[in-house]
Amino acid sequence: MYAQMVKTDADRVKSLDEMDPQERAFQQRIDAGEKIEPKEWMPEPYRKTLVRQISQHAHSEVVGQLPEGNWITRAPTLERKAILLAKVQDEAGHGLYLYCAAETLGVSRDDLYEQLLAGRAKYSSIFNYPTLSWADIGAIGWLVDGAAIMNQVQLQKTSYGPYSRAMIRICKEESFHQRQGYDIMMKLCAGTAEQKAMAQDAIDRWWWPSLMMFGPSDDASVHSVQSMAWKIKILSNDELRQRFVDQTVPQAEFIGLKVPDPDLKWNEKRQSYDFGEVDWDEFFQVLAGNGPCNRERMASRTRAWEDGAWFREALTAHADKAAKRKATAPIAAE
């Protein structure tokens, strides 16, 4: 499982000596832990990688509202409904911070959105799975937001200033999301046999897709090596996945749930869990658009985009009018 990283020529990162002076100065700033800010010079591939990563992240926040939104009207109590509503709204906010961070790199939000709707941009494959029971809302908060936090905590230290600052804000809210999910699972596990079975069924279905959220193993991940040299990523996919497993297994055991992995075993020597291989065929199938809910998710986003057209137009017309009024208004006497 922990094979040595095999770097092909395409993956190889240039050494400082091979860089031109501008690139070298840039890399040295990153190596020294400095943040890169929007108007500063950056290599084009650095900018492009960030646009791809930040927009994928933004799309994931926005599409991620759909599986949970499905349960707002069916939450079991008024309190649960209010909590879920707040959580789903937070995800919309995360999408907005992240689209703003991407816009500082010279792309427009409309373009990014159109790429998503045209199927040219990706979002996290996890949101293509259905939410079949209330326990799935618990499993999403606990496992999916939990995996997201594991990834986002390291991104607070990412080299691009606006992305790093967005992450700091987002992480605070994500930890609330994870707790509310775990709280749902705790209550179900302390309930009737049927409720506990519902919680077990949810972890059975969400465990493996959650592990997939960290992306393919490092030896198969095309972007990892350069992204780490640029500190766009700080920890590798496999390291993050391992941390997630180590953190989550004791939480499952604490509430009496079984992690659906026959190969899961504590490794005394590594002081970590050994675990089974993720089904990467399933991951690539879902990524290619063939997951259980891909079409439904895109249809919902497209409908929302089309339904909102009149509002975007009105907003722009109002902003134009206000700007014109301001430009022609007499200057107020002091």
Q: Contact between 261 and Fe ion (CB under 5 A)?
A: no
> How is residue 29 annotated by DSSP?
H
To Fe ion, the closest distance from the beta carbon of 129 in angstroms equals: 16
Closer to Fe ion at the Cβ: 91 or 103?
A: 91
**How far apart are alpha carbons 148 and 218 in whole angstroms?**
18
Number of residues that bind Fe ion (CB under 5 A): 6
Closer to Fe ion at the Cβ: 136 or 174?
A: 174
Name the 3-class secondary structure at 136. helix
Closer to Fe ion at the Cβ: 177 or 243?
A: 177
To Fe ion, the closest distance from the beta carbon of 290 in angstroms equals: 25
Closer to Fe ion at the Cβ: 146 or 215?
A: 146
Closer to Fe ion at the Cβ: 27 or 178?
A: 178
Residue 30 corresponds to which amino acid? Answer: I
Q: Contact between 243 and Fe ion (CB under 5 A)?
A: no
User: In the window 87-126, what residues touch Fe ion (CB under 5 A)?
Assistant: 91, 94
User: In the window 283-312, what residues touch Fe ion (CB under 5 A)?
Assistant: none
Contacts of 269 (CB under 8 A, 6+ apart): none
3-class DSSP string for 148-196? HHHHHHHHCCCCEHHHHHHHHHHHHHHHHHHHHHHHHHHHHHCCCHHHH
Phi-psi region of 328 (alpha: psi -120 to 50; beta: other; left: phi over 0): alpha
Q: Contact between 136 and Fe ion (CB under 5 A)?
A: no
Task: Please choose, out of 13-21, 104-112, 140-148, 183-191, the segment that lies near Fe ion by the rule CB under 5 A.
Answer: 140-148
Residue 283 is encoded by which pair of tokens? 């991951």
| Binding-residue pattern over the window 144 to 173 for Fe ion, x denoting contact by CB under 5 A | -x----------------------------
User: In the window 210-239, what residues touch Fe ion (CB under 5 A)?
Assistant: none
Element (H, E) at 265: strand 265-267
| Binding-residue pattern over the window 169 to 208 for Fe ion, x denoting contact by CB under 5 A | -----x--x-------------------------------
> Exposure pattern of 185-211 as b/e (b: 16+ CB <10 Å)?
bbebbeeeeebbebbbebbebbbebbb
- Interaction site with Fe ion (CB under 5 A): 61, 91, 94, 145, 174, 177
